[in-house]
Amino acid sequence: MDNIINPKIIFMGTPDFAANILRVMLEEKFDIISVYTQGDKKVGRSQSLEKSAVKKIAKDYGIEIFEPKKFDEDVVREIENQKPDLIVVSAYGKILPKDVLNIPKYGVINTHPSSLPKYRGASPIQNAILSGEKKTAATIMNLTEKVDAGDILKQEEVEIGDYENYPELSQRLSEISARILVETIPLLTAGKIEPKKQNENEATFCQLIKKEDGKINWEEKAKDIYNRFRAFCVWPGIFTYFEKDNRSLRLKLNKVSLDENSKENNFENGKVFEENDVVKVKTGNGNIILEEVQLEGKNKMKATDFVRGYANFLGSVLK
């Protein structure tokens, strides 16, 4: 960064993905004048207040923190008064109005973990895994009023591992995003980047993830079910229903794997069976191995222990 302007930067972000990026920027001595993040959230059964990951980093470094519920005139004026040269946004969780986008000299830039214009929206990592993508990207782009439609400043392709889950891929994309961001900012402020427009004809959008999206359809291929587990292992998780004593019990599948050596059988899709001391479920194509399960309101259990505790589980058909 020698001999290149060190812009005054406002950073906006909330979760771990953004916190990793903020940490790298601070380590690289960028001038972060303030941080904007989501307010404290109630978590767990105790509903205790939890600070955002970005807020924790900002407090460690003594950076001024703002947690606006909305961008009204007072908040816009507050940002103007700070006279930022650049605003960096990463998984903030709020839409910035045009009045804010127009404030910084070098604009507002955003980190987006997808192969834009593919997977615009709030959950690109989960959606890429869910769709069985083999590749994604870390992207730095100009932020505009239209969601994730701004010009691309830098993009680096990233291969997705066959068994890589959401938190693993998110961590890796965060690290790559941080690296290419700190490379991009000096070039941007020096006028040495030619922004690349996105092809609107190739744009795709993320599905909004809901709790019920974790419900397993045993008619699907084993690979697709496994991808759902990889994508949703943090939230909402994947689940099915187990019939016991004429009651339908919700069963969370905390850990599953793909049966790489599945043999053809005539079982009904969703049927639970045991093979070589391994608990499996028949799917529309192949088998899923159950490793850890949890009945609603109960403790987590190894699938092999669950079978011993619920004798009628083997041979049942999950719904």
Over residues 266-292, the pLDDT tens digits come to 999 999 999 999 999 999 999 999 999
pLDDT score of 135 more than 70? yes
Structure tokens at 269: 């899709």
Rounded CA gap, 55 and 11, in Å? 11
* Distance (Å, whole) CA 109 – CA 152: 9
> In this structure, what DSSP letter does residue 211 have?
G
Averaged pLDDT, 131-138: 98
Last residue within a domain, chosen from 202, 236, 251: 202
Q: Across the chain, which distance is largest between two alpha carbons, in Å?
A: 74
For residue 261, the model assigns a pLDDT of 86
Residue finishing a domain among 157, 185, 202: 202
Residue 300 lies in a domain: yes
pLDDT-derived band at 250 (thresholds 50, 70, 90) equals: very high
Q: Within this chain, do residues 165 and 37 fall inside the same structural domain, yes or no?
A: yes
In whole angstroms, give the CA distance from residue 291 to residue 279.
7
Is 319 within the bounds of a domain?
A: no
Considering the domain boundaries, does residue 1 fall inside one?
no
User: Residue 48: its pLDDT value, please?
Assistant: 79
CATH number at residue 177: 3.40.50.170
Residue 142 belongs to a domain: yes
Residue 42 — pLDDT band, cuts 50, 70, 90?
A: confident
Start-to-end CA distance of the chain, whole Å, equals 58
Question: What is the rounded average pLDDT of the residues 20-47?
Answer: 92
- Look up the domain containing 262 and give its range: 211-313
Q: What is the pLDDT of residue 138?
A: 98
pLDDT band at residue 4 using 50, 70 and 90 as cut-offs:
low
Q: Is residue 2 part of a domain?
A: no
195 near 153, Cβ under 8 Å?
yes
Are 187 and 299 in a shared domain?
no
Residue 311 has what pLDDT?
84
pLDDT at residue 305, rounded to an integer? 97
Q: Domain check: are 183 and 240 in the same one?
A: no
- Asked whether residue 28 falls in the same domain as residue 144, the answer is yes
236 and 128 inside one domain? no
Q: Are residues 139 and 285 in the same domain?
A: no
Q: The domain spanning residue 293 has which CATH number? A: 3.10.25.10
Decide if 3 is inside a domain: no
Rounded distance, CA 29 to CA 232, Å? 35
Question: What are the residue ranges of helices labelled H in the chain?
Answer: 16-27, 53-60, 73-82, 98-101, 124-130, 166-189, 222-232, 303-309
Is 50 exceeded by the pLDDT of residue 168? Answer: yes
* Number of domains within the chain: 2
Residue 46 DSSP label: T
Q: Are residues 216 and 90 in the same domain?
A: no
Share of the chain above pLDDT 90, in %: 92
How far is residue 190's CA from residue 192's CA, in Å, rounded to a whole number?
Answer: 5
pTM of the model: 0.95
The Cα–Cα gap between 114 and 148 comes to 10
